[in-house]
Amino acid sequence: MAAPPLSPLAPKSFPDMPSIDGVRIGTAAAGIKYKDRTDLMVMRFDRPAAVAGVLTRSHTASAPVDWCRTALPGGSARGLVVNSGNANAFTGVRGRQATEQTAAAAADVLGCQPEEILLASTGVIGEPLDAGAFSDILKKTAASAKPDCWPEAASAIMTTDTFPKYATRSASLGGVPVTINGIAKGSGMIAPDMATMLAFFVTDAPLAPAVLKRLLTTANDQAFNAITVDGDTSTSDTVLLFATGAAEARDAPGITLPSDRRLAGIRRALKDIMRDLAQQIVRDGEGASKFVTVTVTGAITKRSARRIAMAVANSPLVKTAIAGEDANWGRVVMAVGKAGEPADRDRLAIWFGDVQVAADGERHPSYDEALASAMMKRDAIDIRIDLGLGTGRFTAWTCDLTHGYISINADYRS
């Protein structure tokens, strides 16, 4: 399969990535599935890093997800090993053995327990992963890891992605500047209802695991859990947040309580960087030609607003209408109706951008087809739906459904 062309929604520029004290990264072309491209990424922490994660809620989760579920409660990590090309999912006993073997090889180099190594794999499902075949290269890669490899790390975890996804933010913690770097991958099998995609964040802030967990879960609800490409949820979705604590050397305060008020800056920065990377995944959605923001207001609860936003964002008829630049707001009405959440047809109002198309349960009296159609030509489409029932609101991000999605997923054997 030829590499797909760069997404038209790809960022115009990529950020300079600072290094984060206390973490080094190595990448390698291990030949796991792809030839002549990197498919292995190792992150190593000089001292044990605090860690927290959110994992897929799939009932057919991959072996590395099972591994993380066991390892994460320890709250401490010395390394992270990620491979692309093979998800090590639905691989039975051999799948578990492959995770044990990978963690043991990494622990051997890093001088730690296997349980201090986090794992993630992404790629084809159901193919046995031969961990022995890349143990040696894994050890070499871990041994030669360097601080400044963030773009390379983002590239090594790509599968059908057309561009690497990375971002950085800084924040103040007790007056001391700290940094958060993040990388993510994903462009198909993206649905938020159960969890998220592969994404890894590292900060030098000295934060305890319980603090990380609270920060991560809260930010994730409005980031990776607010996006969808195709409504299909991966067996491998994993988001991890590591804190090296290296900023302690610069007198940043160690934070052990999630309620600590000094977390405000970090909380804001983490939410911002997670949303940035989540939106990058949507911008690289398979076949995407439009970036779509669906905002629901006036629902009875936030949860209800979320379900309605996702019903709209996942509707094939809404998504194909957007691909066709068709201001077909009737399909938005349909999707609101099918969401199964409280909605009163006769209070419904809908906007495309700043053009109100529907009000009080019918077409807006001043509806202007030409104006609405012009709006649909844009790269970024905003759909706003007000239910007029309460104060619940939610914003979801998605892309359109095009011939490109079919080509990527049907025309070629994966």
Q: What are the φ/ψ torsions at residue 4 (nearest 5 degrees)?
A: -70, 155
**Identity of the residue, 136 or 193, whose beta carbon is nearer to a second copy in the bound complex:** 193
Cβ closest to a second copy, residue 188 vs residue 245: 188
CA separation (Å) from 357 to 248, 329, 370?
54, 7, 12
Structure token pair of residue 292 = 């779509």
CB 282 within 8 A of CB 187: no
Q: Which is nearer to a second copy, 12 or 410 (by Cβ)?
A: 410
- Side-chain-side CA neighbours of 192 within 13 Å: the count stands at 25
| Minimum separation from the CB atom of position 22 to a second copy (A) | 35
Residues 6+ apart with CB under 8 A from 299: 305, 308, 341, 342, 387, 389, 390, 392, 393, 394
Residue 24 or 307: which CB sits closer to a second copy? 307
Residue length, the chain? 414
* 355 vs 369: CA distance, rounded Å: 10
Rounded distance between C-alpha atoms, residue 187 and residue 381, angstroms: 19
The nearest distance, CB 136 to a second copy, in angstroms, is: 26
The contacts of residue 172 (CB under 8 Å, 6+ apart) are: 178, 265
Closest contact distance (angstroms) between CB of 235 and a second copy is 6
Q: How far is the CB of 338 from a second copy (least distance, A)?
A: 4
Q: What are residue 172's DSSP bridge partners?
A: 177
Active site residues: 196
CB of 373 to a second copy, least distance (A): 9
Q: Which is nearer to a second copy, 220 or 314 (CB)?
A: 314
